[in-house]
Amino acid sequence: MSRLTLRQFEILEAVARRGSFSRASAELHLSQPAVSMQIKQLEEVLGLPLFEHQGKQIRLTEAGREALRTGETIRHELSNLEQMLADLQGLKGGSLTVSAASTASVFAARLMALFRAQHPDVHLSLNVVNRETLLRQLVENSIDLALMGQPPENLDLTAQPFMDNPLVVIAATSHPLAKQKKIPLARLLEEPLIGREQGSGTRNALENFLGENGQTFKAAMEMNKNEAIKQAVEAGLGLGVVSLHTVQAELASGQLCVLDVQGFPLKRQWYLVQRAGKRLSPAAQAFVQLVLKGGDAVVAVDV
């Protein structure tokens, strides 16, 4: 009799999440026939179909949803086992995997450097990703911790604020508004604005702020990287709204300036996030303590 394998559950999760055998095969670096065969074998063992076809789309059956939940439970328990074994080893030889939103990349690297200085025997991994990928990693339990803006409330996550994240309006130093004080919001919106992509934390905060003030955000350009926004602003293509933490070097060198716009900076927080109920290794616990007790001092900036 065939046996269930963890790999089959991983493939099931990928197919369900991507909604396509072909997209799942590309993500897993497998051929589509190989993915289909693994799902077929899993269906044979369980005795029920896991997917149903609706036109060109596929959806999980009730049995498929139950199998998916079971797979998530298995992966969660295996992760807890790994962390328990890591507890027995202590910080020597342990590992720590942290993902950071792209906006947090600069100070995330500083925090990791400080942690390494204190715990040189821990193997460190830092991933800088967009918000969507970061949230998926947390849900999949593939990372220990995340550094990001406020996560959505509909996910099973635990978030602890540790530092202010002011959002500011930046401009080239030669811009006509560069030396003006208390710039009205309406005047700001007369300028072309370069914004982050839809779904980013910065974009959401800006849209919410404008909505509260009866205004609508209309991006002259959209970019998915803060570096690209800074370069576009410096080139005179428009104004940008970014985290103050991302422009320290450009402000110090005089390449960019922060505009004095009414209502800004927007007050937000950085959060240290983990999957709810996750058992943290000694290395992850030590990193949590570092961030919550002294992380703000490491990367503090003046607004």
- Of 40, 295, 303, the C-alpha closest to 145 is 295
Looking at residue 293, its pLDDT comes to: 86
Indicate the pTM of the whole model: 0.63
Omega into 49 within 30° of 0, i.e. cis?
no
Q: Which residues pair with 53 in a beta bridge?
A: 58
pLDDT at 91: 65
In angstroms, rounded to a whole number, what is the distance separating the alpha carbons of residues 193 and 191?
Answer: 6
Mean pLDDT, the chain, rounded, equals 88
- What is the widest separation between alpha-carbon atoms in the chain? 77
CA distance 275 to 142: 10
Per residue in 58-101, pLDDT (tens digit) is 999 999 999 999 988 888 888 777 766 766 566 666 789 999 98
pLDDT in the model for residue 302:
45
- Calculate the alpha carbon distances from 26 to 35, 41, 42, 84, 131 in Å: 10, 20, 20, 33, 22
Closest CA to 276 of 173, 110, 154, 172: 154
Task: Give me the count of residues in the chain.
Answer: 303
Nearest to 255 by CA among 199, 178, 158: 178
Token pair for 278? 């996750």
CA distance 81 to 14: 23
Q: What is the mean pLDDT of residues 107-117?
A: 91
> Domains in the chain, ordered, with CATH?
6-71 (1.10.10.10), 91-163+269-299 (3.40.190.10), 167-258 (3.40.190.10)
- Rounded to an integer, what distance in angstroms lies between the CA atom of residue 171 and that of residue 292? 32
> How many whole angstroms from its chain centre is CA 7?
25
**pLDDT interval class at 298 (50, 70, 90):** low
